[in-house]
Amino acid sequence: MHETLEKRRPRRAKRKAHQKALHRLIENDMILTATSDEYRNKVKRVYGGPKGAMLATCSMLSLHIPLGERLFKTRKFDLHGMQSILDVGSGAGQLASHLLKYSDPGAKVTCTDLSNQMLRRARNRLKSSRPDFVAADLSHLPFADESFDGVTCGYVLEHLPDPRPGLAEMARVLARGGRMLLLTTEDSFSGAWTSRLWYCRTFNRQELMRICEELGLIWKQELWFTKMHKVMRAGGICVEIEKA
């Protein structure tokens, strides 16, 4: 048995090395090679253009909208008691629609996005006067310290070459003891294709957790859309985080 395990380890290590090489080959590296202004303008064009217009439809077809709603409906991420919620990078309002539906009636919801065009799409899609819509960069959020007791951030952090500035800003505006729902693209095969399509990077799960902890953001629990997602390690990184 010992000899068999010893033989398996090199094969597993070799297979993982091949997988990482394939992921790097597929993954879009513009976020690492372009200047910050070039990359920022590219992202604004992508989300302001036809791809951005199809974002809500793509999220529905990929089941991210109905599966994401399940996280709130079953209170895996519980909005009860939150009085002020920030949705970072609202896009077409995919997460914001769930916040409006499952948060307390008096909770204030603020939606931000780098793209004014995406904010217009979110406003038209949500058809609600309840949220505030604010054009903002994740790295420079225009809010006072500890302004929110809840933050959601769905597939936005991967548009920063270094996640620290964005995580630090979300930690700054989140009240002590407040909770965050973070969804982001993982360094998997499907994540690599997501990177190529949306010009973003991917994250290693353990490395991202370590960075969060350095900033006082503690992973309370890893969330999965379904049991199958957990078994297959699919759906990207989805975690509930608490500010220490």
List the domains of the chain with CATH numbers.
Answer: 2-243 (3.40.50.150)
- 139: tokens are 């790295």
| Mean pLDDT calculated for residue range 147-170 | 97
Pick 212 or 24 by higher pLDDT: 212
Decide: 59 and 65 in contact? Cβ < 8 Å: yes
Percent of the chain with pLDDT over 70: 91
**What pLDDT, on a 0 to 100 scale, did the predictor assign at position 210?**
98
Q: Enter the DSSP assignment of 206.
A: H
Entry pTM: 0.88
| Mean pLDDT calculated for residue range 186-206 | 93
**What pLDDT, on a 0 to 100 scale, did the predictor assign at position 175?**
98
Query: Does the structure show a pLDDT above 60 at 4?
Result: no
Decide: 132 and 172 in contact? Cβ < 8 Å: no
- 130: tokens are 């309840």
56 pLDDT band (50/70/90 cuts)?
A: confident
Q: What is the pLDDT of residues 9-23, one digit of tens each?
A: 566 656 555 566 656
Percent of the chain with pLDDT over 90: 70
**What pLDDT, on a 0 to 100 scale, did the predictor assign at position 133?**
97
Q: Among candidates 40, 25, 8, which has minimal Cα distance to 161? A: 40
**What pLDDT, on a 0 to 100 scale, did the predictor assign at position 6?**
57
C-beta atoms surrounding 116 within 10 Å: 12
C-beta atoms surrounding 177 within 10 Å: 10
E-assigned strand segments in 97-236: 108-113, 132-135, 148-154, 174-184, 217-222
